[in-house]
Amino acid sequence: MSETPRKRGRPATIDTQSAMHAMIELFRDKGYAAVSLDDLSEATGLSRPSLYRSFGNKLSMYVGAMNAFGQDAAELALPKLEADGALEQALTNFFDAMLGIYYRDSDIAPGCLVFGTAPSHADEEEIKARLNFGIEQVDSRMRARMLQAFPDSEPARIETAAYMASNTLIAFSARAKSGATRSALSAMGAASARTIVMLLQAD
């Protein structure tokens, strides 16, 4: 409503977006507990009090990183899943897009912030809730995409197929962190996509 309500005091010089991405990288490398506020301060270039002002305490920094990571992943990979065309190709492309996020270079694999590091800190209720949200999100998107491709399938079969696709994605994070190569997981994703479509086509 108000035009340019021009803020009053000293203008902010902090780039919260790039700071958030630096925090994401740190958190998915080392998890929540192993990252100190000094680590975050050094990685973002912001002083510790600045971090508090911009993002709250350490827990809310981590939860904020989960949200930002989830949004980035959704914007980058979901269009591949929901693209028109054959389901098998869509699934394969979706897996590959997610692997593009899970791997930094060809070698180093920080994996998934949500599926990779959150389970380790799920005794914090806020983290557990956000982890659950991420899993439910993937499950429901998968279900919707499969129902779109096979509208006449039994609901139980759709659900199983969706769960198997989600489980593949969830396991990718652990496998990436354990040292699996990106190409190996890409092949695993393509084979899983093929199998899941075969299941849906079976009569």
Q: Which residues here bind DNA, judged by CB under 7 A?
A: 6-14, 35-39, 46-50, 52-54, 57-59
- Structure token digits, residue 74: 């959704």
Look at residues 63, 24, 22, 69 and name the one whose alpha carbon lies nearest to residue 46.
Answer: 22
* Residues 58 and 37 sit within 8 Å (Cβ to Cβ): yes
Residues of this chain that bind a copy of itself (CB under 8 A): 29-34, 111, 115-123, 128, 131-132, 135, 156, 159-161, 163-164, 166-168, 170-171, 173-175, 177-180, 188, 191-192, 194-195, 198-199, 202
Least distance in Å: CB of 14 to a copy of itself? Answer: 28
Least distance in Å: CB of 190 to a copy of itself? Answer: 10
Q: Taking CA 160 as the corner, what is the angle to CA 166 and CA 184, rounded to the nearest 5 degrees?
A: 40
Least distance in Å: CB of 50 to a copy of itself? Answer: 24
Q: Which does 153 bind (CB under 5 to 8 A by kind): DNA, a copy of itself, none?
A: none
* Residues 25 and 108 sit within 8 Å (Cβ to Cβ): no
Nearer to a copy of itself, 29 or 88 (CB): 29
Nearer to a copy of itself, 12 or 136 (CB): 136
Q: Taking CA 131 as the corner, what is the angle to CA 126 and CA 137, rounded to the nearest 5 degrees?
A: 125
Look at residues 191, 182, 17, 180 and name the one whose alpha carbon lies nearest to residue 97.
Answer: 182
Least distance in Å: CB of 127 to a copy of itself? Answer: 10
